[in-house]
A and B are shown apart, each in its own frame.
Chain A
Amino acid sequence: MAIQKSNDTLDMLISATVQFCEKKIAPIADKIDRDDIIPEALYSEMRDQGMLSLILPQRYGGLGLTYSSYIHVLEIVSKYSAGVALSLEAHNSLGLEHIAKYGSEELKENIIPEIIASAKPVAWALTEPRGGSDAKRMSTTALAKQDGYILNGSKTFITHGFSADKIVVMAKTNDSISAFVIDADSEGVERTKLQGKMGTRGSDTAEIHFNDVFIPKDRLLGREGEGFEQAMELLHGGRIAVGAMAVGMAEACIDASIMYSKQREAFGSKISRFEAIRFYLADLSTELEAAKLLVEKAASLRDNGLPHRKEAAMAKYYASQVAMKAARTAIQIHGGYGFFSGSIVERMYRDAKLLEIGEGTNEVLKLIISSEILRD
């Protein structure tokens, strides 16, 4: 279903998402960050609200939102909790989308209703302990045997890898890479929740070891050898979605700063009267607008089936920097209060850093952008 921006339906999607976040996420956002856990009840409520099937096609029971609409939902959730938004993003753009786009019809009919019923996000495992940027050089293997494959190796930094029931895994089959969806409780799967994460807390991040894990043949996504191209295609979407998260977080920092600067007084006037503060806000708002437009343009290209490898990379590369700058400046505007936990800008400052690392570091994104423009 193609939903154009600023029509009534999109307005309602936005307004319902804001209401949902105000009621269900805002009251526990700090606790999610502190305890580094998203309550299962919140996943169920998000599932009921449709947030675990945002871009899933309607024929599989999803909302079938276009990227142009989906980014608004992610933007809003990110204003409240980057941890929750990251989990929604990894599930909708990567894990579930991988199955919906490349799984066989039979597999989808079996597995998608089960996923939605469980209200557990799907994890997506590409990165390995030896390195994420050079993902092609992976060492996880899936050796073919008669009725399936045997999986061996390790993945790390996997979003909600500890709490997921289903994990999409990229592994080497002979010389090429293939993608599979496995049950997290399969024999030989060992998962550890990584401790001490700086930001986007709440969505757990896990290291996963596979020791002779049997994968039935029908769990192969697409054809053998297509896994890497599939993963890269999904990452183009994922980068747009991470860009949307950045936009939401930057906006939250700017909103908080506007409010604070209009209340805080120094030298007999509100700090919002000082040119230094006003110019900070003017710069940030301009950069936010530019980031939004990049994200929206990339989303629209993706929706229309046009090439967007470069634009998706640009959207995430630029928007993540805007979010980082907005968080850093917001703390500056908040002074000492911004330096303590309990202030949203302190949390956003820790959260925003992930945006420059996950789903392609900004260095890797610049490699992509430059290779696209130089065509070499």
Chain B
Amino acid sequence: MNIVTLLKHVYDENQLKIEPSKGDVDFAGVPGKISTFDRNAIEAALRLKQQHGGLVTALTIGSEESIKSIREGLAMGVDKAILIKINSHLQFDALALGNIIAKALEKIQAWDLLLCAEGSTDTYTSLLPGILASKLKLPLITYARSLKIDGKYLTGDRSLERKAVTVQVELPAIVSVVSEINEPRIPTLLQILAASKKEVLVYTLEDLGLSQLEQKYKTIQLSGKGKERKKIVLEGSLHDSVARLVDALVKEGLV
């Protein structure tokens, strides 16, 4: 069972600064990190590997800086990684990324399953799994919250708004997972040290024979949106305010 996981290095969204009047996003000095839900995809891959053996390869399209996130994946237990080096991870749209990934997958012999997150914590288009499935003509399970492999079949529970659907596909297949699928492991210190010795293959777009990439859409402006808080202050005795807090939460549909 050879599994490929997509791993993206993104800006740490908690550290983005937004200019209050115009909403301009300041990326300067914002540290990068592994896209949060990619850790769920990696965890899912590692658990399947534990049951069925094989290798887990992480595939990253990103700048040189992505190595930091790749090492984190390797520390979790990913066996090896491939980095397709580009200038900035916001350089391409989902379609172009799909083209690059499809080409890069040719560098990985005989894989059975491609796992990715339902979306990346920066652009969050959720388009990539679908694009890849149609490009590679492979079955697709999106929003998986559980996965089971039985021979050449893969069964997954899809987590949809108000319902759950169990589907089965034949391998090889493409799967996107939701965060509920598992709790990603904390890498052990020994694995962290071992990660620096694992193989990371680096290719450029030219190496993949991709010098001209078609882009179907262009980001014209990127701006941050502030969220107005309700700022409700409950005054009075502790006993009363707790009761009113519970009422308010129920009214908002939060509990």
The interface of chain A, by Cβ under 8 A from chain B, is 1, 8-9, 11-13, 16-17, 19-20, 23, 48-51, 54, 63-65, 73
Contact = CB atoms under 8 A, between A and B. Distances in A.
A53 to B, nearest CB: 8
A118 to B, nearest CB: 18
A16 B75 contact: yes
A1 B189 CA distance: 13
Contacts of A16: 75, 186-189, 192
B189 A17 contact: yes
For the residues of A in contact with B, the DSSP-based class is: helix
A171 to B, nearest CB: 34
A206 B106 CA distance: 63
Contacts of A65: 189
Contact of B189 (A8, A11, A23, A50): A50
Nearest to A54: B189
Given A8-B68, A12-B71, A12-B72, A50 B196 contact: no
Nearest to B189: A50
Interface residues of B, number: 14
A51 B186 contact: no
A23 B186 contact: yes
A11 B193 CA distance: 11
Nearest to B33: A15
B39 to A, nearest CB: 11
Given A9-B196, A12-B75, A16-B75, A50 B68 contact: no
A293 B195 CA distance: 29
Contact of B187 (A11, A12, A51, A64): A12
Contacts of A63: 189-190, 193
B186 A19 contact: yes
Contact of A20 (B71, B72, B186, B190): B186
B140 interface: no
B201 to A, nearest CB: 18
Interface in B155-192: 186-190, 192
A325 B192 CA distance: 35
5 contacts: A8-B196, A11-B68, A12-B192, A19-B186, A65-B189
Contacts of B193: 1, 9, 13, 63-64
Given A13-B192, A63-B193, A8 B186 contact: no
Contacts of A54: 189
Contact of B188 (A23, A48, A73): A48
